[in-house]
Structure 1
Amino acid sequence: MIIIAKNIKHLRSLKKLSQEALAEELSITRSRIGSYEENRSAPTIEVLIKLSDYFKIPIDILLRNDLTKSKDSSFIEIGNQRVLFPITVDDNNDNLIEVVPVKASAGYLAGYDDPEYIEQLQKIKLPFLPTGKHRAFPIKGDSMLPMKDGSFVIGRFIEDRQEIKTGKTYVLVTLNDGMVYKRVMNNIDLNGSLLLISDNKLYHGYSVPINEVLELWEFTCSINTQEYSEEELKISSILSMFNDLGVELKALEKHLK
């Protein structure tokens, strides 16, 4: 039970609580907290339930995962509990980002909230990224031209749905469609959904209920794994111009209404 001993002490430190203060919150004695943290005894199931309720972390995460490298920002709220969302750092305490490889992308839906799955992903450091939790996702197909098949999109994790901006691109993990990269129209206030649009107009847009969106990552930058040809660059410039024009016209139309 070494992990639970380390976790109790670490979580208490994150809350800036003394052993006595935590004991009071859990309605147990300070000596019991001390014995748990020093691994001299193991918490009973009743105490584990109290710890889980107080820190809002599932019991299995308390027992199975070493949380000593986690911060308050390493957890996300799901319902009334917090789920571990690993933020990995290197020896210099700089954040690393996980790379979801093409071969593993199909399994991401099953493992996106599993710390062990995330921990085994390859990691890279991109020092120019803004603050926040980032992850790299592979792009498949041509629905988001000029983004080439095989490219990677680095996205910043969005926890607050109020941050979703109409016209921006996001990587979404959805309940029924898996992982997709699309331009998003925020219709949450209108009908509780997001309209997902491909930049390649050969593909039709479709709506996804917001309660089916499991994760949302706002585009930060992209990494191309293939060089653009001269012709592709010309097409890219034209498409970009029309996309920008479309967003401006939508904004003008909304203003006129």
Structure 2
Amino acid sequence: MRYLRGKLNLSQQKVADDLLITRGRYGKYEDDAASPPNEILIKISKYYNVSIDLLLTINLSKYSIDEIMELPDNRIVLPIRVDHNGNDQIEIIPHKASMGYLNGYGDPEYIEGLDTISLPFLKGGKFRAFPADGDSMPPYKNGTYIVGKYVENLSDLKTDRTYVFITTNDGISYKRFQFHEADGIWVKADNSFYEPYKIPLPDIKEIWEFACSINTIEYGADEFAERNIQNFITEIKTDIRQIKEKMGEKK
């Protein structure tokens, strides 16, 4: 509380007056000589625009207070550390523990315990690295990390752009956004073997827009040759479908 008040250049008397309590009483809360009752704690939370769980569980001096106040519900997606050059550290969600992220994404201690990297060319947002899994989004395969930029609002999603979706059912999934519906959003895999599907809005916990990828496994020459043939066949199929559609329109 003292840190928050200092960042806003407020006196104890000013805050106490705004909270409708005495300065002495407020001072005891800052000195941890007394604990505020629930109704005062709620007032303090609203006054500083910082959620109660942040007030009670983490050291706010590690964060930029301006960024905390701008985030919906003060979510813990802000940079926890910076390197010696002042670059934001990007948390890495490990492959083996990726499912644990669903339980720990809102836990400050879990986030602080993650390994980090710094990518100075990524600016203007909060970034996090997630493991790719399966064959639904070629050419990204197991061993690849997708670095995503945090998306605050569903309205910011762009058709045919790729995103990492954190959901209650699938955990971490990397898919291409298609369109909104009233109660959900439709996404699809780049691998045509998989059908598009809808994610209900209540299931969505976080969304991260693709920023870059980090490959940790080298592709062999034969893999590229095979992929080029697949791409060529896909292009031919697309061209044939478009020709048929045009012929149907002429009829």
**Deviation (angstroms), 1:16:** 4.4
- Asked if 1:94 corresponds to 2:94, the answer is no
Counterparts of 1:27 and 1:235, CA distance in 2: 72
Match of 2:34 in 1: 42
Gaps in structure 1 of 5+ consecutive residues: 1-7, 250-257
Tell me the C-alpha RMSD between the 2 structures: 2.6
Moved more, 231-240 or 147-156: 231-240
Please show how residues 195-214 of structure 1 align to structure 2 within 5 Å: 195-214=186-205
Partner amino acid, structure 1, of 2:219:
Y
Partner amino acid, structure 1, of 2:67:
S
Alignment check: 8 A CA contact 1:74 1:85 kept: no
The two structures have a TM-score, normalised by structure 2, of 0.82
Q: 2:77 aligns with which of 85, 102, 105?
A: 85
Partner amino acid, structure 2, of 1:85:
V
**Deviation (angstroms), 1:59:** 3.0
Alignment check: 8 A CA contact 1:57 1:83 kept: no
Counterparts of 2:165 and 2:217, CA distance in 1: 24
Change in Cα spacing, 1:25 to 1:235, as seen in structure 2 (3 Å) is farther
Sequence identity (%) = 42
Change in Cα spacing, 1:9 to 1:235, as seen in structure 2 (3 Å) is farther
Q: 2:182 aligns with which of 191, 195, 198?
A: 191
- Asked if 1:229 corresponds to 2:224, the answer is no
Alignment check: 8 A CA contact 2:187 2:196 kept: yes
Match of 2:161 in 1: 168
How many aligned positions are there? 233
Find the structure with the greater CA-based Rg: 2
Once the two structures are superposed, residues 200-250 of structure 1 have per-residue CA deviations (whole angstroms, 9 ceiling, x without a partner) of 11111101122321100000000001112223334556649969x98xx9x
- Asked if 1:73 corresponds to 2:67, the answer is yes
- Asked if 1:150 corresponds to 2:143, the answer is yes
Change in Cα spacing, 1:191 to 1:236, as seen in structure 2 (3 Å) is farther
**Deviation (angstroms), 1:144:** 0.4
The two structures have a TM-score, normalised by structure 1, of 0.80
Change in Cα spacing, 1:179 to 1:30, as seen in structure 2 (3 Å) is same
Gaps in structure 2 of 5+ consecutive residues: 243-251
Change in Cα spacing, 1:199 to 1:31, as seen in structure 2 (3 Å) is same
Secondary structure at the aligned position of 1:132 is classed as: coil
Partner amino acid, structure 1, of 2:162:
T
Partner amino acid, structure 1, of 2:174:
Y
Partner amino acid, structure 2, of 1:95:
D
